[in-house]
Structure 1
């Protein structure tokens, strides 16, 4: 009997018994033809893009675009237009194609049916012939009305026009080879800030023709309340700070504040010994309504800060390295760019393997230049550095994930909220990259007895071809070789050790070689106090291992921290502390009381959804905040780094 069952099983397995198993298995359908690769050849004709940005009530921009039809498209019987997806500076495919609406294509007044590519959904196939010499496109940008729908770009007082969101371009060409004539209509009486130039400015402004690359790289801030401040430096290349605001009072910058921004231009051009623009426009929105942003461009940058940026100067310094960071990108990221991040158009994927240079060194210079220029004091710069060093030294995710792998995170996480940020790691190449470059700077100074520094690297690496706009790509070997030309050392190993290997602690040799060490006390720095004030919360990162909003919601709980081990997660609400209604002061007192009495725990009543729970945290080390402490008998290279040139 057993032998018979085995025979049946074997014959069934071989397909001899079950006809069903002999049926043909499905095979995949072939993919449609790929969108043509971009070619380095001039597009025959000039696009025009006209944007009506006056409907701020509904947050809708209406666009009319004309596109000449090339002969080769007529021969193929089809023209393909692309919506930009890979936006420079975002490091991932962030194009807001979901906001594109009401697309209508016409030629000579006749409507033409279009068809979206069902694989590359940013590509639109449009039939053309000799009777369709030009395509007229009409569509809308249905921009977010509330922040939970995306970044808000239209408010009653400010409009932010990003040209990648309001235009399509022909496939098959390098975007630097496509010429465009742009125009914009803004509400009556509003003023415009942009790197684009026009013969005259008004409610409807027709800008000079430019390339599609430059167009996408030249956004607009337009505002009801607007101020333009001249920051031109000693090289006489025009630089301006274009400020828009929710209200007119926010524009009230003092002469000393303006001087600090002028100093930023002086210090940056001194550092790099060059410029790669014929004019530069900082775009700064002081707002609680427009979406926050810090985005680099070759001849401008988009920035947003709190309305009190000028009027509450002593409280807003934690965000005042933003302009220095984005300005640095004109040299590092726009002119000098990692070779795998240069792409021929805005739909070819970029790769971020060198983001620790692109963003990491920019983060470093942003912090340093802010201090050198007086946007922050040296002590404020040191406090920010201490906080970042402590944060990344306590980054639990470094136990499994090397820094270099985080350069993939813009694509992996798309900058979406993470449940356990410090364990998963995110775009750590920014701030940990800053620490790597501080390590390099202080090591160069130490090895050269103070004769050389990372300033020399910056001038040698980013200061080439003064005045040139042409992107100069680089790879890892050139970075290491340039460092070696400044100060002989095994820089390739230095970098690989910090980038590619698991390191249980952050690279803090820059502090040691700079003459300082990281310590913790129970006194918050002015940086922590100002940050708590701006965020309206309580920062207990280095004690309980969490931050808490003013209303008691846990904003971030750190992996394996005392709060984590007690069962807390982010998004919960603390209702009570030691049997009293929650306030931030009561939670602080509970921490200090538990430090005095090792038998006392910190008791919290916590609400999570419909669930209420009581947790007890056995923590007795008190409040802890990071500081930099001077090491006696060592050279103070860190102060030298932050000293104006």
Structure 2
């Protein structure tokens, strides 16, 4: 392979490279100021018959479709001799070349002006690339290695950061199609900090912080010191670092207010895009994304659902397991920042409060299971719909749903089995993650059964809380840590109007949630509230004042307008369902030594004890 690569590198985008098997790309940025990149792809040893080349419709870390082909134009194909080839465009992102020789060269222009983890963006300051949004590919050649060369001689201060293997002369290597598509790239005048991590087996690897931001080197170094603490707590959970390919892991951090914002995990790197002026002064804003995405280097990138293996780039990828893949990662993302001392215990409790409220009060959780929520990702995960959906009534994010499930399982394992969720994650890592054996939901149940030595518990937990819609007893579970779950506003009237739009003296409803008094009264999106309990609804504060003046069970008349027709209905106030988690000390109760120990073992650093 070294001899083959050497031969390829000797010919910078020349057709003598076609003697090899690698699919080779060259990308340049002569019109970056207008957000364009020029891309050439050489495909050697093309089999006889119809050659299909396409853009991806999905991306690692995303589950819905994304029409990357819409930003491709000037698409052309050539023989090795330079002769133009006939192209038949059979779909918006699919190009077929029915007649060709042994080697084919493709060229096209790509527009990119969206800086996040999913798309591509080019300007005078950098080239930010998610591979599926950037590079077309020949269908049916997934096993072939990829070589990509970056040309930016006119931008002397740029340099490349990527998990792809450097081969010299601004050329980088991927062993196959799947690895290539999972390798984001940042080319910029960035600042960097790095540190080494040592595994239990003595293996040393390097973690890099790549910061394309308006920060000093000192600020970047200080932030890296914070990330070191975070990484230590992640290692304490797993007690084993992944084997990062080529010995490196990269945080590709792009920070600017006009960015779209995002965090996207990859095998040996993560693309983190933030919408703040810089890192310094906003460190806390960024940490949650770093922690979440880094946890993915174990959970999802190697501990991987069978439904996502291999990843299909031609359509959306539906999965039953996102409640664990994303949800458990969400749970740990914040928890490990508290353990690292980068967030307070109150920060974690506030996050738990959001999880519990969502899972106990949202119609999506009441009526659908975590598995069903996971499946809806093909529509919800940054998917685009111009028509109104009923998502608010049928879907709770698998991030939140899964995080609440993780919280319940962690507290249950601690209180009933003297185990922790850390133990469960390590068991999954040993069985499926480290050997990289894709798992199924029954595999997850089996591992819980083996860990607890209680098959009936594992079966009941999955039947009730994973396949089913039953809810854990969070109040009982949280009390083990001296945390009280209670009504935040007991006895307070509640209508469930949600967010109200006020303009031109009119108060208009958005979609109402199933189960709320507003929904039961027949009120829905677009209704204009004219009056409530006899008071003219000139703004939202009038509605709030009327609500506060009543108690649960009171009935009021509401006059409203629907499609120009004046109507009326009667609304019966309910008690405000919002919950809060507070420490038992703040309620006037007694924090027992057992509660204190439970809380400390859960929320405090695990680095020294493991």
- TM-score bucket of the superposed structures, by smaller chain: 0.7 to 0.9
Q: Distance in 1 between matches of 2:560 and 2:172?
A: 57
Structure 2 residue 393 is matched with structure 1 residue 423: yes
Paired with 2:174 and 2:544, the residues of 1 have a C-alpha distance of: 62
Shift of 1:380: 0.7
Aligned pair partner of 1:87 in 59, 64, 83: 59
Could you say which residue in structure 1 is the equivalent of 2:255? 286
SS in 1 for 2:595: coil
Q: CA deviation at 1:591?
A: 3.5
Given the alignment of the two structures, is residue 49 of structure 1 paired with residue 18 of structure 2, yes or no?
A: no
CA distance in 2 between partners of 1:608 and 1:244 (Å): 50
Unaligned runs of 5+ in 2: 1-18
1:635 aligned onto 2:600: no
3-state DSSP of counterpart to 2:77: strand
Matched, 1:384 2:355: no
1:487 counterpart residue number: 452
> Secondary structure at 1:198's aligned position in 2?
strand
Whether 2:275 is the aligned partner of 1:271: answer no
Q: Give the TM-score taking structure 2 as reference length.
A: 0.77
- Alpha-carbon distance change, 252 to 47 in structure 1, aligned in 2, over 3 angstroms: same
In the alignment, which residue of structure 2 is the partner of 1:4?
none
C-alpha contact 2:323 2:398 (8 A) present in aligned 1: yes
- What do the CA deviations read for 1:198-221 (whole angstroms, capped 9, x no partner)? 3668xxx32245432222111112
Whether the 8 Å contact between 1:541 and 1:558 is mirrored in structure 2 is: no
SS where residue 112 of structure 1 aligns?
coil
Q: Quick one: structure 1 residues 335 and 573, their matched pair in 2 at CA, closer, same or farther if it must change by over 3 Å?
A: farther
Q: Within 5 A, what are the aligned runs for 1:409-558?
A: 409-413=376-380, 415-416=383-384, 419-426=389-396, 428-448=397-417, 450=418, 452-463=419-430, 471-489=436-454, 490=456, 491-503=458-470, 510-521=477-488, 544-547=496-499, 558=513
1:183 counterpart = 2:152: no
1:618-629 correspondence to structure 2 within 5 Å: 626-629=580-583
> Shift in Å at residue 597 of structure 1?
6.3
Evaluate the alpha carbon distance shift between residue 312 and residue 481 of structure 1 in structure 2; reply closer, same or farther with a 3 A threshold.
same
- Indicate the residue corresponding to 1:595 in structure 2: 548
Q: CA deviation at 1:496?
A: 2.0
CA separation of 1:497/1:619 partners in 2, compared to 1, >3 Å: closer, same or farther? Answer: closer
SS at match of 1:546: coil
Aligned-residue offset at 1:335: 0.8
Give the 3 Å change call, closer, same or farther, for CA 304–507 of structure 1 in structure 2. farther
Gap change, CA 1:570 and 1:384, over 3 Å in 2: farther
Asked whether the equivalents of residues 196 and 206 of structure 2 are also in contact (C-alpha less than 8 Å), the reply is yes
Q: Give secondary structure in 1 for the equivalent of 2:84.
A: strand
CA contact (8 A) 1:386 1:628 kept: no
CA RMSD of aligned residues (A): 4.3
Pair 244,384 (structure 1): closer, same or farther in 2 beyond 3 Å: same
**Does the alignment pair 1:242 with 2:210?**
yes
1:644 to 575, 588, 605: 605
Q: CA deviation at 1:607?
A: 11
Counterparts of residues 352-367 of structure 1 (less than 5 Å): 352-367=319-334
Question: Do the aligned partners of 2:194 and 2:208 also contact (CA within 8 Å) in 1?
Answer: yes
Contact 2:531 2:560 in 1 (8 A): yes
How far apart, in 2, do the equivalents of 1:624 and 1:462 lie? 37
SS of residue paired to 2:348: helix
Aligned-partner Cα distance in 2 for 1:55–1:496: 56
Q: CA shift at 1:365, angstroms?
A: 1.6
Q: What's the CA shift string for 1:102-138, capped at 9, x where partnerless?
A: 21000111100122346xx654321345xx2321111
Tell me the CA shift for residue 423 of structure 1: 0.7
Which residue pairs with 2:42 in the alignment? 66
Q: Distance in 2 between matches of 1:625 and 1:115?
A: 59
In structure 2, the partner of 1:153 is: 121
Shift of 1:308: 5.3
Q: Distance in 2 between the 1:217 and 1:623 partners? A: 43
**CA separation in 2, counterparts of 1:396 and 1:343?**
33
Cα distance in 2 between the residues matched to 1:295 and 1:194: 14
What residue is the counterpart of 1:227 in the other structure? 191
Q: Return closer, same or farther for 1:510/1:62 CA change in 2, 3 Å cut-off.
A: farther
Question: Shift of residue 579 of structure 1?
Answer: 7.6
| Alpha-carbon contact 2:41-2:107 (below 8 Å) kept | yes
In the alignment, the residues of structure 2 paired with residue 270 and residue 168 of structure 1 have an alpha-carbon distance, to the nearest angstrom, of 40
SS in 2 for 1:332: coil
- The answer to whether 1:114 aligns with 2:93 is no
For the 8 Å contact 1:339–1:474, the answer to whether it is kept is: yes
Per-residue displacement from partner, 1:248-294 (whole Å, max 9, x unpaired)?
Answer: 25987377644321111111122112222121111222233222222
CA-CA distance at 1:349 after TM superposition: 6.3
User: Is the CA contact 1:230–1:239 (under 8 Å) kept in the aligned structure 2?
Assistant: yes
Q: 1:98 aligns with which of 64, 70, 75?
A: 70
Does the 8 A contact of 2:327 with 2:402 survive in 1?
yes
**TM score, norm. by length of structure 1:** 0.74
1:165 to 133, 153, 178: 133
Task: Note closer, same or farther for the CA distance 1:598–1:643 as it changes in structure 2 (3 Å cut).
Answer: closer
Q: 1:217 maps to which residue?
A: 182
Change (3 A) 1:579 1:376: farther
Tell me the CA shift for residue 464 of structure 1.
6.3
- Write the distance in 2 (CA, Å) between the matches of 1:549 and 1:158: 39
* Distance verdict in 2 for CA 1:54–1:643, change over 3 Å: farther
Separation in 1 of the partners of 2:126 and 2:556?
46
- CA shift in 2, pair 1:558/1:283, >3 Å: farther
1:370-399 deviation line (CA, Å, top 9, x unaligned): 222233222111111102211221111334
* 2:494/2:576 contact within 8 Å kept: no
Is the CA contact (8 Å cut-off) linking 2:338 and 2:348 kept in structure 1?
Answer: yes
CA contact (8 A) 2:309 2:438 kept: yes
Q: Is the 8 A contact 1:557 1:563 kept in 2?
A: yes
